């Protein structure tokens, strides 16, 4: 069958097609939102930090240098809602809450860590490229 005539679909990617594919390039696609959560300023660091195992709130706060209480709580909540982070609260006083990665969370965080590690390792190279760019600009 040849239902797809040349002049019927002028654009290569219809919106519907991109949504079905989960296309991050599509503005309306939910994958773009998830990608934003994962790659958010603090999301990245929290995901990597949790690879070290279960952490308490204050542990994370210490580990992720410079994060405020507010942002830590907020980012943990969105990561939990996306199913990447598991939150376990022990009903004791004073409160004791433990955060860890879910199986899916381990999968994303692995990729995030790959990226972060690469940047850390390549930092000298990158900084040098920057200076070269500066020189050219002058």
Partner DNA sequence: CAGGATCCTAAACGATACTG
Partner DNA sequence: CAGTATCGTTTAGGATCCTG
Q: Report which of 16, 13, 78 is spatially closest to residue 42, judged by C-alpha positions.
A: 78
Based on the shown chain and the rule CB under 7 A, indicate whether residue 69 belongs to the binding site for DNA. yes
- Binds DNA by CB under 7 A, chosen from 42, 46, 64, 112: 42
Taking the CA of residue 119 as centre, how many other CA atoms within 13 Å lie in the half-sphere pointing to its CB?
7
Q: Which two tokens stand for residue 134?
A: 């500066």
Minimal distance, residue 113 CB to its own copies, in Å: 10
Handedness of CA 76, 35, 66, 111 (dihedral sign): positive
Dist CA 54 CA 92 (whole Å): 18
- Cα 111 from Cα 66, distance rounded (Å): 23
Tokens of 74: 């907020």
Q: What is the sign, positive or negative, of the torsion defined by CA atoms of 126, 33, 84, 100?
A: positive
List the x/- string, 55-84, binding to its own copies by CB under 8 A. Answer: --------xxxx-------------xxxx-
Binding-site partner at residue 114 among DNA, its own copies, none, CB < 5 to 8 Å by type? its own copies
Site for DNA in 73-112 (CB under 7 A): 73-74, 76-77, 87, 89, 93-97, 99
Among 14, 21, 69, 97, binds its own copies (CB under 8 A): 21
Which one of its own copies, DNA, none is in contact with 97 (Cβ closer than 5 to 8 A by kind)?
Answer: DNA
Query: Using CB under 8 A as the criterion, which residues of the chain lie in contact with its own copies when the complex forms?
Result: 21-27, 30-31, 34-36, 38-41, 44-45, 48-49, 63-66, 80-83, 102, 104, 107-108, 111-112, 114-116, 118-127, 129-130, 132-133
């Amino acid at each position: 069958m040849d239902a797809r005539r040349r002049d019927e679909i002028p654009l290569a990617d219809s919106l519907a097609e991109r949504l079905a594919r989960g296309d991050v390039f599509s503005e309306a696609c939910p994958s773009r939102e998830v990608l934003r959560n994962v790659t958010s300023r603090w999301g990245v660091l929290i995901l990597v930090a949790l690879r070290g195992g279960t952490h308490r709130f204050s542990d994370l706060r210490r580990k992720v240098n410079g994060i405020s209480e507010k942002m830590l709580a907020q980012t943990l909540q969105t990561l939990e809602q996306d199913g990447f982070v598991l939150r376990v609260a022990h009903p004791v006083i004073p409160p004791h809450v433990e955060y860890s990665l879910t199986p899916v969370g381990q999968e994303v965080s692995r990729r995030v860590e790959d990226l972060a590690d690469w940047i850390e390792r390549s930092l000298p190279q990158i900084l040098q490229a920057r200076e070269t760019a500066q020189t050219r600009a002058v």
